[in-house]
């Protein structure tokens, strides 16, 4: 896994044979919904997190791999954001490769461990059209619970315990970007985590976010993107439940807010600026920051 290179031609050919056609500006030229793009009605066995180890390996083709976990909230309210990610996947990947060499993407689906049947889905790390193929396999369960959070930190847990990274052996970190509209969860319930992952090393009933975060940060730089879009209720929800402040308290400057139209550029900027050690907050008018 992780071999090959992404090309716009391969992406256009793939989308044409699977679900849509791509226009000259690299967008799907039809209005597709989450139901149209993500047709799975159950978790694909290849995305099952139980007892898996995903590897991001250096090779002659990609000697200095940079692993990026892109974790999508697959609960009911986040379909539009996932569709936007799928529609602009070519721009995201191409722009990353124009700026940063040897990026490899792992696609994750994150829900609610307490309520969902498939709260964690995790792909292999890839660098070519297989990124799109894995994204298409993600099951949008459209579940979640009434606890005002989703288990975003499950992406941290999987990255920490179920990903083998050659970059880490070289003293470099990977990147985790979670994408969702709710507050950060305060813990992971180990009863459900054991059921889903097969792990049985837990000493306590919960994996507390405050304890997991510093451990995951040893291996990954962690970001979260909240959606704020004028055509949705995202802004109202964020303001009502204090989403921004809770994420800022947890991640500081690594918390981002983006509209759907700005989502692709936000993802690219995180990756480009993190790998080049540029502080995006001080570079808003700099040409290094991608805008579309």
Q: CA-CA distance, 48 to 18, in Å (whole number)?
A: 23
Whether residue 110 contacts residue 150, with contact meaning beta carbons closer than 8 Å, is answered with yes
Residue 2 included in any domain: no
Whether residue 219 contacts residue 174, with contact meaning beta carbons closer than 8 Å, is answered with yes
Residue 37 included in any domain: yes
Is pLDDT at 207 greater than 90 in this prediction? yes
Residue 289 included in any domain: no
Condensed to tens digits (0 to 9), the pLDDT of residues 12-52 reads 777 766 554 333 344 444 455 544 555 556 899 999 999 99
Q: What share of the chain has pLDDT > 90, as a percent? A: 47
Q: CA-CA distance, 130 to 4, in Å (whole number)?
A: 9
Residue 77 pLDDT class (50, 70, 90 cuts):
low
Whether residue 174 contacts residue 67, with contact meaning beta carbons closer than 8 Å, is answered with yes
Whether residue 176 contacts residue 160, with contact meaning beta carbons closer than 8 Å, is answered with no
What local confidence, expressed as pLDDT, does residue 285 receive?
36
272 or 69, which is more confident:
69
- Three-state secondary-structure class, residue 92: helix
Count how many domains the chain has. Answer: 1
Condensed to tens digits (0 to 9), the pLDDT of residues 212-246 reads 999 999 999 999 999 886 655 556 667 777 899 99
Beta partners for 106? 69
Average pLDDT over residues 250-258: 95
What local confidence, expressed as pLDDT, does residue 287 receive?
37
Residue 216 included in any domain: yes
- pTM here is 0.84
Residue 106 included in any domain: yes
Q: How many helices (H) and strands (E) does the chain have?
A: 12, 12
Query: CATH number, domain at 77?
Result: 3.40.50.410
Q: Which domain holds residue 230?
A: 8-282
Residue 287 included in any domain: no
């Amino acid at each position: 896994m992780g071999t090959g290179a992404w090309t716009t031609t391969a992406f256009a050919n793939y989308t044409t044979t699977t679900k849509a056609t791509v226009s000259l500006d690299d967008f799907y030229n039809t209005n597709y919904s989450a139901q149209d793009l993500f047709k799975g009605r159950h978790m694909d066995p290849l995305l099952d997190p139980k007892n898996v180890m995903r590897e991001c390996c250096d090779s002659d083709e990609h000697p200095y791999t940079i692993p990026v976990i892109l974790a999508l909230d697959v609960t009911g309210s986040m379909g539009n954001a996932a569709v936007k990610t799928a529609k602009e996947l070519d721009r995201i990947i191409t722009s990353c490769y124009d700026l940063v060499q040897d990026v490899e993407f792992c696609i994750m689906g994150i829900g609610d461990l307490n309520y969902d049947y498939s709260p964690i889905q995790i792909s292999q790390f890839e660098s070519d059209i297989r990124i799109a193929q894995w994204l298409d396999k993600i099951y949008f369960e459209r579940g979640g619970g009434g606890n005002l959070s989703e288990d975003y930190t499950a992406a941290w847990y999987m990255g920490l315990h179920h990903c083998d990274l050659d970059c880490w052996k070289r003293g470099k970190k990977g990147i985790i970007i979670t994408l969702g509209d709710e507050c950060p969860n305060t813990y992971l319930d180990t009863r459900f985590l054991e059921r889903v992952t097969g792990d049985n090393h837990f000493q306590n009933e919960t994996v507390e976010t405050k304890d997991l975060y510093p451990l995951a940060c040893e291996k990954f730089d962690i970001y979260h993107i909240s959606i704020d879009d004028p055509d949705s209720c995202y802004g109202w929800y964020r303001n009502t439940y204090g989403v921004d402040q809770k994420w800022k308290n947890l991640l500081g400057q690594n918390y981002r807010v983006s509209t759907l139209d700005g989502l692709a550029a936000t993802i690219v900027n995180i990756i480009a600026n993190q790998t080049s050690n540029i502080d995006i907050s001080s570079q808003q008018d700099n040409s290094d920051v991608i805008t579309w």
